Amino acid sequence: MTDDLLGRHRSVLPDWLALYYEQPIEITHGEGRHVWDSEGNRYLDFFGGILTTMTAHALPEITKAVSEQAGRIVHSSTLYLNRPMVELAERIAKLSGIPDARVFFTTSGTEANDTALLLATTYRRSNTVLAMRNSYHGRSFSSVGITGNRGWSPTSLSPLQTLYVHGGVRTRGPFADLDDHDFVAACVDDLKDLLGHTRPPAALIAEPIQGVGGFTSPPDGLYAAFREVLHERGVLWIADEVQTGWGRTGEHFWGWQAHGRSGPPDMLTFAKGIGNGMSVGGVVARSEIMNCLDSHSISTFGGTQITMAAGLANLTYLLEHDLQGNARRVGGLLIERLRAVAAQVPAVREVRGRGLMIGIELSRPGTDEADPEAASAVLEAAREGGLLIGKGGGHNTSALRIAPPLSLNVAEAEEGAEILDRALRSIR
């Protein structure tokens, strides 16, 4: 059955639509932190549909909210008042930390970042954008144009002039050998030098932890230091929280809060986890930025009632069950367990991350040379052992990405670590 579906997939869908595994699997259903494929195999899910199943599969509180809303009305567009959309916007605006915030809902993180770029370039009357090396912000024409990861940037054409800044990757690049204080200082000096050679940019857009880039991040405080430089020049700061938001990092509700001494960003974008699988994304911005457009705009599917019902139920569950705290506790245990494993595997260059957002970078033993073949082999071995994980990284996709639902318990974390232990040792 799967082989037939694979053939049908290949006959009607694009060749560039990536599939995991030498023998791709069809996931048919899930419960909690587990999913099943069409052959009846059960897997512990450590990737959550690319960090999207944030709380759990088939969570009763969410399925009930979606079912009840579907029985009333599914969709009406933004041309009409929408109570669930207003209620979710009120909660997100308050949680964002941005003063006098306005919220615009989209259907994806790509669309959210595209909207943020529209707002920033309009507000600042500039099409120059600063982005981080190794970054990823989506697959639309404008967001691809600011993506600093070669593997996810299929064209150099763009409506924007993009300038790439140092700092998103701590352990590679010209400043890697510096301590954290000097690393931040060098990146700030580089930013100042860059700004001295270009027309005033609209904004800096940055992921607090780079997602597709392999869960890399700078030292805490880098973006706060950047913000001080940018603020003096009127340049906006956009925090791309599509993967880091909603408490996934454990220590903070938003990734920007690790860099928060200069206050919240001017805008933040979100998506993925808030819908727990439903298509929800959005932008939060200060009112004068959000309201800068001088033409009409709507969103046909952004903020539709059924996705807002899911988002409300999901956010309520997340907060009432302190899943941020769970990510901190269980994620901390999982990271330490994986670091202990990595110490015995020469191919592991680094275990990094926060909370339940963990990266394992692989390289050829004794070198810093990326080893994408080893990453693919571990991905396959983990699946054979009953564990689903992801891949990423800016150096030929040589990092494993681990991001389970935030309700992961200690026993499941230990089970996943044991499977990863065997998978990693299999490549020695």
Structure confidence by residue, pLDDT tens digits, 28-59: 999 999 999 999 999 999 999 999 999 999 99
Structure confidence by residue, pLDDT tens digits, 17-29: 999 999 999 999 9
Do the beta carbons of residue 406 and residue 324 sit within 8 Å?
Answer: yes
Other C-beta atoms lying within 10 Å of the C-beta of residue 8: 10
- Residues 160, 235 within the same domain: yes
Domain region containing 133: 64-320
Whole-angstrom distance, CA of residue 270 vs CA of residue 116 = 11
Q: Which has the minimum average pLDDT: 80-84, 156-160, 290-294?
A: 156-160
- Residues 313, 350 within the same domain: no
Whole-angstrom distance, CA of residue 43 vs CA of residue 47 = 11
Residue linked to tokens 């204080």: 181
- Residues 94, 54 within the same domain: no
Integer angstrom CA distances of residue 107 from 11, 269, 279: 27, 12, 5
Q: Is a pLDDT exceeding 80 seen at residue 395?
A: no
- Residues 286, 145 within the same domain: yes
Q: Which has the minimum average pLDDT: 306-310, 397-401, 410-414?
A: 397-401
Per-residue confidence (pLDDT) for residue 428, from 0 to 100: 65
Q: Indicate the pLDDT class of residue 150, thresholds 50, 70 and 90.
A: confident
Do the beta carbons of residue 146 and residue 205 sit within 8 Å?
Answer: yes
Per-residue confidence (pLDDT) for residue 89, from 0 to 100: 98
- Residues 304, 330 within the same domain: no
Q: Which has the minimum average pLDDT: 6-10, 151-155, 222-226, 250-254?
A: 151-155
Q: Is a pLDDT exceeding 80 seen at residue 1?
A: no
Residue linked to tokens 């943020």: 116
Select from 320, 350, 369 the last residue of a domain: 320
Select from 297, 320, 343 the last residue of a domain: 320
CATH number at residue 35: 3.90.1150.10
Question: 427 or 95, which is more confident?
Answer: 95
Backbone angles phi, psi at 269, to 5 degrees: -115, 150
Other C-beta atoms lying within 10 Å of the C-beta of residue 213: 28
